[in-house]
Amino acid sequence: MKLLYITNAINGSGGLERVLAVKASYLADKMGYEVHILTLNGGDKQPFYDFSQNIKFHDITVIGNPFNYLLSYRAGIKKTVKKIQPHIISVCDDGLKGMLFPVLFGKKIPVIYERHVSKQIENSTGSTSLAHSLKIKLKFAVMNVAGSKFHKFVVLTEGNLKEWKLNNIVVIPNPLPFNSGECATLTNKKVLVVGKQSYQKGYDRLLDIWSLVHDKFPDWSLEVYGKLNPTLGLEEKAKQFNIDKSLKFYPPIKDIQAKYKEAAIYVMTSRFEGFGMVLIEAMSYGVPCVAFDCPHGPADIIKDGEDGFLVANGDIDTFAAKLMALMENKALRQQLGTNALKDVNRFNVNEVVKKWDDLFQSLVHLK
């Protein structure tokens, strides 16, 4: 079966890129799919993650004002689709142009939309102005209509499912990207966070939490890996809180597995998510997680009190208390970490990609 993924880029270090690398490579190497990936303005940029050598890559250039951009986007994709003649097209683009794919290109070929983030991302600045609210409502209306045009609309969690009023929607979680069989010892006094610096990831809240924790556990450190954003002023805020000696920000690294293995606790302070890939990555090393119960993802992954802790979104004090409970109690870390290692198996790549294969096969048979 010929499968064409269409996405903006694969050179980033985000969850979408990670998931695409895992899924596409498995389908190409293990299930005999002829997998193609089409990117925009990629040029000679290399993927951040490793993709199978059996995958065929394509790239188109889209430039100019919005009108010319759309024209070059449409022409480039039509040319590529004509060349490949795929049996299935899967659109991995959370932008509006991705949502409008069936409108722009029709539905002669079965087309799937993969939604990798909560609708909350449309309010990524936290603005509460009336004009901004009206803009979001209008955009949501357009997105709901556009989403109904796909053969299937795939979201990652049960929480995401509730955001959309669609009859063509289905839930398929992200697959676990690695399963080394190794476990963290949970003895290093390190707390780990992975993700780009942004409003979404809530690192301002992370600093508030660490400021409550630091004085009581001065021998612990907090390490944050992800794309840096100096405009957020996080390092300056850390200095103001006098926590800069125990908290360090690092750019993304490819061998993030080594950092999971070194960690004793993983925390997620996001305001919203599409899934929470980093949670299952940490759990695969037996690292217990503390996360805000944000929309959406953590509640689908963490069993509160069994393999980690879920905290009401924005409750800084309770989050700090749960984190400190793990920091001071190695036995609790080990108990939750052991359960996490078992529970995370439900995201095994074999099981998750089997769901994708079933979906693809069902759509091909509709033709």
Residue 296: which CATH number? 3.40.50.2000
Q: What is the pLDDT of residue 125?
A: 63
Does 208 fall in a domain? yes
The structural domain count of the chain equals 2
**Helices and strands per DSSP (H, E), number in the chain:** 14, 13
Helix axes 330-343, 316-327, angle to 10 degrees: 100
Distance separating alpha carbons of residues 178 and 200, to the nearest angstrom: 25
Does 290 fall in a domain? yes
Residues 249 and 327 grouped into a single domain: yes
Structural domain containing residue 318: 190-347
Residues 277 and 343 grouped into a single domain: yes
The DSSP letter of residue 61 is: -
Q: What is the pLDDT of residue 96?
A: 84
Q: For residue 8, how many C-alpha atoms fall within 13 Å in the half-sphere facing its CB? A: 12
Query: 300-317 in b/e burial notation, b at 16+ Cβ within 10 A?
Result: bbbeeeebbbbbebeebe
Q: What is the pLDDT of residue 367?
A: 57
Residues 56 and 157 grouped into a single domain: yes
Q: For residue 298, how many C-alpha atoms fall within 13 Å in the half-sphere facing its CB? A: 23
Residues 156 and 228 grouped into a single domain: no
Does 185 fall in a domain? no
Q: What is the pLDDT of residue 124?
A: 63
Residues 279 and 251 grouped into a single domain: yes
The DSSP letter of residue 176 is: P
Q: Name the pTM for this structure.
A: 0.92
Residues 199 and 246 grouped into a single domain: yes
Residues 217 and 151 grouped into a single domain: no
Q: What is the pLDDT of residue 191?
A: 98
Does 180 fall in a domain? no
Does 184 fall in a domain? no
Local mean pLDDT, 10-residue blocks, the chain (367 residues): 97 93 98 98 93 97 92 96 98 91 93 91 70 83 92 95 93 91 94 96 98 96 97 96 97 95 98 95 97 96 98 98 98 98 96 97 83
Q: What is the pLDDT of residue 89?
A: 98
Residues 170 and 210 grouped into a single domain: no
Residues 32 and 62 grouped into a single domain: yes
Residues 54 and 147 grouped into a single domain: yes
Residue whose C-alpha is closest to residue 14's, from 307, 291, 277, 303 = 277
Residues 33 and 120 grouped into a single domain: yes
Question: What's phi and psi for 70, nearest 5 deg?
Answer: -65, -40
Q: What is the pLDDT of residue 60?
A: 97
